[in-house]
Chains A and B, each alone.
Chain A
Amino acid sequence: MPVSVSAEVFDWGKKVKHIRNFSIIAHIDHGKSTLSDRLIQATGIVPDREFMDQILDTMDIERERGITIKSNTICLPYKAKDGKTYSLNLIDTPGHVDFTYEVSRALASCEGAFLLIDASQGVEAQTLANLYLALEHNLEIIPVINKIDLPSADVEWVKTQLKEDLGLDPQTAICTSAKEGIGIQEVLESAVKLLPAPKGDPEAPLQALIFDSHYDAYRGTVVHTRIFQGRLQAGDTIMFMSNKAVYKVEEVGVFQIRRVPRNELTAGEVGYVIAGIKTVSDTRCGDTVTIKNKSCAAPLPGFKEAKPVVFSSIYPVAADDYQELTEAIEKLKLNDAALIYEKDSSAALGFGFRCGFLGLLHLEVVQERLEREYDLSLIITAPSVRYELLLFDGATVMIDNPALYPDPTLIKAAKEPFIRATIITPDRYMGAIMKLCMDRRGVNSNYQYLTSNRLEMKFELPLAEVVYDFYDKLKSITQGYGSFDYEILEYRETDLVKVDILINGEKVDALSQLIHRDRATERARLACERLKEEIPRQMFKIAIQGAIGAKIISRETISPFRKDVTAKCYGGDISRKRKLLEKQKKGKKRMKMVGQVMIPQAAFLSVLKTED
């Protein structure tokens, strides 16, 4: 086994005392990844020339959108003021509400957390939500007031919020500017001094938590783990406790941007395990790894299942790609534990998967990752929440897939999930937010002032209205200052209808949507308009209709083109023309034929787009 021994040689016996496992948590954009950058640089494990901003945000989508989507672990060797070298396992977490599941799993491998607060924004919705998560895990929390370099920074004001909103001791807060590198040493020192070292007996039977994983084309599944007790090294025969799958360990190590092999991982450490795991479904996030012949008494509690709130179906554009999609989605699931899926099929689109997501951004990320990382071209159906239908025969069914919507005459009543939204905002946006929430069928609003000009507003809203484009809307009307969090309440009675889209009289099942009756006409109109824009003119007239049952509620027509003919075709033109046709045919694999109409992928996607 090639083992590159890191520059840090630990005294293995005292090792655990010199480990600190902590996450950086905060509301979105408060500077977690930037602070991580500074900590990484301070410990010098990445040469300057290889450094880039938000170095832990490695995925293309993360870099493009400037947000963190995945929690990311890095092991930092740090020589503290006490002269000893510590191993700091830092986990940078995402701030967006759709990725809370990433945060909660990261916290399960930590003893402490730095809670970042943007000095100019103050406490926001995810600041609170993530703090509660950390408290649930009994973590030691160190508040950090970041972005103190900003002219609008107001440290004293944030300290008041720390005390009054969060119940934390403002005395312990560290002031930083991640951007300018202020306060970085203090963060490192306080990790060493204030956070507890992990507990756990290295001599006990192995008990290691799988908190994440990813698939490597050459090495199989790479398991991300926190060792709670025992030790693990190459050659060990391990067992996954949930399914008794057995593998021989090929390599263990830690993450330092790259994977860095180590001789062993011992109790308290965070790292990875490679064991030639080619059966993708064997690895389950939350499972416990132990040694086959010396297994621990019981598995660790694992994680609560992610509870999807938005559902949508994913189909390959080319029906032949279904098998590839199947493999891709399994592999993606390794790295996205919040993704839930099951097989689905559609008359228009063939085989695919019905998936559950934690929100609309999560949906988008899954789609993009499948397309980019697995080179697939996909069609996503309109997102839906899960409805409860009471039938006349007394049965209750839960429906999130319009394709499974029963005959409306059988339905006695329908219920939809409601949420309580918490919005924290400067008070000048109060009117606009009120209007937004009322437009979205919000009820029972109330508000309270947190400080003299900051409000906490609460509304009860149908979840369906929130998944649509609520968050984007809120961001734009509050110019980025409004923050939002929600909790699920109960199901409430609603007036639900199914809107179908017909193309030349043929129903396109993948475009059907379940929706409140008051919204139906508008949504159908929008869908028809969008389709009209995206479906290229063809030689036939194309009628696009929106309908509830047999009733047409919106309509658009694409007039046919009249001329599409190559005038000349002699000897030299034939091969060229044929090749063009062959190429187009390939391109058309990316289109779907419905009633002799070619519908491009973009048309399906356009229906999902929110109003611009």
Chain B
Amino acid sequence: MPTKEPSPACQGETEVPGGIYVHIPFCMRKCPYCDFYSITDLELLPVYLNALHAEIRLTAAENNFPCDTLYLGGGTPSLLGPEALQRLIQEIRCRHPLPENAEITLEVNPGSMSPETLKAFRQAGINRLSIGVQSFSDARLQFLGRIHSAEQAHATIQAARAAGFDNLGLDLIYGLPDQTAGDWAEDLEQATAYGPEHLSCYILSYEPGLPLTRKLHSRLFTPLPNEAVAALFEQTIAFLSTKGYEHYEISNFAAQTGLRSRHNQKYWTFAPYLGLGPSAHSHQDGRRRWNHRSLSRYLSDLAAGRLPLETEEILSHQQQILEAVFLGLRQSRGIDLGWFDKKFKMNFQEVFAETIQRLHQEGFLQVTAGHCRLTTTGKLVLDGIVDLFVAGL
């Protein structure tokens, strides 16, 4: 595995390989905090797969950038049987060539497949799993409306190891009502006990319009105060660093630099990516486009031989700068100033001098070794900091 920091994709420079994302919009049940697009009518799966194959074929001609990652997300892509998965990967590899050592990730949810299926997934060419553990506490899993128990979470991780997966990522959620530092420490202990190569630790957020958010607004529970959430964030970073994990993005930790999610980094470094499936987003050279969110629209477009595109946007210079700032600051490496100044033909440190100075003075930000990056306290107020930069644009 290469251990070099990936550098942001630059127009005109040696091309950075892209990634392919496939969205599988099916779940056994909808979790009340989730705003990914997915439906629970599994009968539509076969029809959907047909359409997806059509989309893969249709996009083959258009997308001409080399890729070195494939990410099967959702939804609950582990609902696909191994055969379907194999056919899918084959179709993709055939239309969009991937190198031998491509990172091929599958998101799996405990309770959605058997140990045998996991073995078959490995056979099918999956070399990285991202397991939606979320918590090792039944009470918290229940609050989150997950279909699985803590026991099933443990079983899935063990089965994954047994199936030969040597690149495992675990997803955890924290900041739930009443969650104490002790509770969270327990989740982290149990997760790290498996020595996962990767951890994603997300703060629970209440997005507008979701069932859990409505419950919150109806005061059916009291959210964890921001102060406490902030403390858990700091605790996460401190704990995982004692375990040797590298905190490389707001919510992401890797056992080594080479074990970062190669695919997800593409999102933060302007690399090209192709998104397949409803609601999937694609990007190449400052052009973003995305598919219709609704499955029926997706199906009907493909049935008519059309790409199921909802919109395309070409980012203006200003918009690209804005994205470079907020994506750069999400990463622990920060914004590569040499890259930034060259790409945007402006001097970052001059343009934002006042903002940088103020944020530095408050201990939120550092400029070292040609990078502008946030400190831990800075990361906690990332959105506010981005606002300040944006206001200065």
In whole angstroms, what is the CA distance A593 to B323 when docked? 22
Among B203, B362, B381, the one with the most A-chain Cβ atoms within 10 Å of its Cβ is B381
A578's contact among B273, B275, B326, B383, by CB below 8 Å, is which? B326
23 contacts between A and B (CB under 8 A): A538-B384, A561-B384, A562-B226, A562-B227, A562-B230, A562-B380, A563-B229, A565-B383, A566-B382, A566-B383, A567-B250, A569-B267, A569-B326, A572-B275, A572-B279, A574-B283, A574-B323, A575-B290, A578-B326, A581-B387, A588-B387, A596-B358, A598-B391
- Residues of chain A contacted by B121 (CB below 8 angstroms): none
CA gap between A582 and B387 in the complex, in Å? 9
Q: Which of B21, B268, B383 contacts A564 (CB 8 A)?
A: B383
B residues in contact with A492, CB < 8 Å: none
Are A593 and B279 in contact (CB-based, < 8 A)? no
User: Would you give the 0/1 interface string for B231-252, flagging 1 where the beta carbon is closer than 8 Å to chain A?
Assistant: 0010000000000000000110
A539 within 8 A of B: yes
Q: Smallest CB-CB separation from A588: which chain B residue?
A: B391
User: Which residues of A526-577 are within 8 A (CB) of B?
Assistant: 538-540, 560-572, 574-575, 577
Given contacts A561-B226, A575-B281, A581-B390, contact A567 B381 (CB under 8 A): no
Distance, CA A571 to CA B276, complexed state (A)? 12
Number of residues of chain B lying within 8 A (CB) of chain A = 48
In the bound complex, CA of A539 to CA of B322 (Å): 20
Q: Say whether B388 faces chain A, with CB atoms less than 8 Å apart.
A: yes
Least distance between A419 CB and chain B CB atoms (Å): 45
Q: Using Cβ atoms and an 8 Å threshold, which residues of chain B touch A571?
A: 21, 267, 273, 275, 280-283
Pairwise interchain contact B230-A563, C-beta atoms closer than 8 A: yes
The answer to whether the Cβ of A396 comes within 8 Å of any Cβ in the partner chain is: no
Q: How far is the CB of B338 from chain A (nearest CB, A)?
A: 23
**Shortest distance from the beta carbon of A170 to any chain B beta carbon, whole Å:** 65
- Does B226 lie within 8 Å of A563, measured CB to CB? yes
Min C-beta distance of A598 to chain B, whole Å: 7
Q: A574-B283, A578-B326 are in contact. List 10 more A-B contacts (CB 8 A).
A: A538-B384, A539-B385, A562-B226, A565-B383, A566-B382, A569-B330, A574-B267, A581-B386, A582-B319, A585-B393
**Chain A residues in the interface with B (C-beta under 8 A):** 538-540, 560-572, 574-575, 577-578, 581-582, 584-585, 588, 593, 596, 598
Given contacts A563-B230, A569-B267, contact A578 B323 (CB under 8 A): yes
Instruction: Indicate if the CB atoms of B390 and A584 lie closer than 8 Å.
Output: yes
Q: How far is the CB of B180 from chain A (nearest CB, A)?
A: 17
The answer to whether the Cβ of B354 comes within 8 Å of any Cβ in the partner chain is: yes
B205 touches A566 (CB 8 A): yes
Instruction: Please determine whether A565 and B381 come into contact, CB atoms closer than 8 angstroms.
Output: yes
**A568, A571, A572, A584: residue with the most chain B Cβ atoms closer than 10 Å:** A571
Question: Do B391 and A585 touch across chains, with their CB atoms under 8 A apart?
Answer: yes
Interface residues of B in 308-326 (CB under 8 A from A): 313, 319, 322-323, 326
B136 interface contact, C-beta 8 A: no
**Does B257 make an interface contact (CB < 8 A)?**
no
Residues of B within 8 A of A (CB): 21, 202-203, 205, 226-227, 229-230, 233, 250-251, 264, 267-268, 273, 275, 279-283, 288, 290, 313, 319, 322-323, 326-327, 330, 354-355, 358, 362, 364, 379-388, 390-391, 393
CA distance A222 to B364 in the complex (A): 59
Chain B residue contacts of A540, Cβ below 8 A:
358, 362
- What's the least CB distance linking A404 to chain B, in Å? 28
Q: Report whether B280 and A565 are in contact in the complex, using a CB–CB cutoff of 8 Å.
A: no
In the complex, which residues of chain B have a beta carbon less than 8 angstroms from the beta carbon of A564?
A: 380-384
Flag if B326 contacts A581 (CB, 8 Å): yes
Chain B residue numbers with a CB within 8 Å of A572 are 275, 279-281, 290
Tell me how far the C-beta of B356 lies from the nearest C-beta in chain A, rounded to whole angstroms.
Answer: 11
* Bound-complex Cα distance A568 to B249 (A): 10
A569 near B268 (CB under 8 angstroms)? yes
Chain A nearest CB from B132 CB (Å) reads: 13
Closest to A571 in B: B281
B205 touches A567 (CB 8 A): yes
Known: A574-B288, A578-B322. A567 touches B202 (CB 8 A): yes
If the complex has contacts A574-B323, A584-B387, A593-B391, are A565 and B267 also in contact, measured as CB distance less than 8 A?
Answer: no
Asked if residues B381 and A568 are in contact (CB atoms below 8 Å), the reply is no
CB distance from A319 to the nearest CB of B (A): 13
Contact B380 A565 (CB under 8 A): yes
Among B267, B268, B279, B354, find the residue whose CB has the most chain A CB atoms closer than 10 A: B267
